[in-house]
Structure 1
Amino acid sequence: MSVPAEAQRVAGDLELVPAGENADLVPDAVRKALPEGSWALGIDPDLADTQALVDAAHVPLDGSANCVVVSGKRDGAERVAACVVLANTRADVNGAVKRLLDVRKASFLPMDRAVEESGMEYGGITPLGLPGDWRVLVDSAVAASDWVLIGSGVRTSKLVVRGSDLAALPNAEVLDIALPAR
């Protein structure tokens, strides 16, 4: 299978392999949720943070997406969502996300809880394979992207998937949730 040119562009200098065929790169829960035609690439775990990978492997910032987990409470009930935005933006947690969750205050889920409840490693959390009761808020710019580089669930690899496949995830909602990066 040949790698589409746009998929390779978002992978920078890194070699892409079919994600579904490389169990060593993709955890089981994520692999079960992988859209067909997704790609994976192995990385040094020290490069799992977006800017480090951009700098080391010539990965384009506008072709990378980040997934952050946010929560808030309303009437004693916690509401959790994974927010997926392009890496050259940031999630509007205190505006759009707070309104969408219908909470008075939204904040990032503490790292230990995000890791435990997602079953993924910090710095590798992806919208694929998350708990079924979490909302997945996909920014419209991510959904409109041909391909995006995103976490794989672990710090030793990344995935390259179509933006439309992220928008089609079972709990996904495509919305405008991003602000320009600071």
Structure 2
Amino acid sequence: MFDSAPQLPAIDHPELLGEPVRRLIGLIPQAQVFSIDPALSDTESLCRAYGEPESTCGNCVIVRGHRGQITRTVACLALATTRVDVNKLVRKRLDVRKASFAPMEEATTESGMEYGAITPVGLPDDWPIWIDPAVIKSSQVCIGAGTRSSKLVIPGAALLALPHAEVVEGLAG
């Protein structure tokens, strides 16, 4: 996976990671990191440039739901070839009336990560992380590194080492 990109142990290269990612990368010691042109940060461009199928990448989306004065936030990680079921499954699990993707400015400000590079590694402590089973079953998945200039390659199951991470059946399809 992404064999043409020199991969380095992420734990040994904090300079390639977004600030929040540095705090928790030690929980996933097998994580590898590689540098990219920031213009390639979105999945389609990255896969085209490296000749990889989109099924090797995971996208982390931040979903926010509201019920009255209560706001709940969750990070959802699914393979790039699928879509997170925001309007049914996520909304019901959050127990909110309306759920939608968090506005870009809020997601980046609150996560401390760059747009197009948000990753479950290093998110705020009070955000649950819901992971689609297909991600967990992946031997390696390419995800954001908190900065648009690099990517992480991680065994899918290793993501369960993150605080508040859980597998959610039917999260994406």
Identify the TM-score tier after normalising by the shorter chain. Answer: over 0.9
Tell whether the 8 Å contact from 1:138 to 1:173 is kept in structure 2 after alignment.
yes
One-letter code aligned to 1:93: V
Q: Residue 154 of structure 2 aligns with which residue?
A: 161
One-letter code aligned to 1:44: D
Q: Residue 104 of structure 2 aligns with which residue?
A: 111
Deviation at 1:46, TM superposition (A): 0.3
Runs of 4+ in 1 over 4 A off after TM superposition: none
Q: Residue 5 of structure 1 aligns with which residue?
A: none
Give the Cα separation in 1 of the matches to 2:165 and 2:62. 14
Deviation at 1:20, TM superposition (A): 1.0
Question: Match of 2:15, SS?
Answer: coil
One-letter code aligned to 2:24: A
Give the Cα separation in 1 of the matches to 2:59 and 2:129. 12
Give the Cα separation in 2 of the matches to 1:54 and 1:13. 12
Give the Cα separation in 1 of the matches to 2:69 and 2:115. 27
After superposing the two structures, state which structure 1 stretch, 168-177 or 104-113, moved more: 168-177
Tell whether the 8 Å contact from 2:9 to 2:30 is kept in structure 1 after alignment.
yes
Q: 1:27 aligns with which of 9, 13, 18?
A: 18
One-letter code aligned to 2:14: A
Deviation at 1:63, TM superposition (A): 1.1
One-letter code aligned to 1:119: G
Deviation at 1:93, TM superposition (A): 0.7
Give the Cα separation in 1 of the matches to 2:70 and 2:60. 23
Deviation at 1:12, TM superposition (A): 4.5
Give the Cα separation in 1 of the matches to 2:89 and 2:161. 21
One-letter code aligned to 1:178: A
Deviation at 1:162, TM superposition (A): 1.4
Question: Match of 1:14, SS?
Answer: coil
| Count of residue pairs brought into register by the alignment | 170
Q: CA-atom RMSD, angstroms?
A: 1.1
- Structure 1: state its 5+ residue gaps: 1-8
Deviation at 1:28, TM superposition (A): 3.3
Matched, 1:63 2:29: no
Q: 2:92 aligns with which of 85, 89, 99?
A: 99
The change in CA–CA distance for 1:23 and 1:168 in structure 2 (over 3 A counts) is: closer
Give the Cα separation in 2 of the matches to 1:71 and 1:173. 18
Q: Residue 7 of structure 2 aligns with which residue?
A: 16
Give the Cα separation in 2 of the matches to 1:76 and 1:28. 31
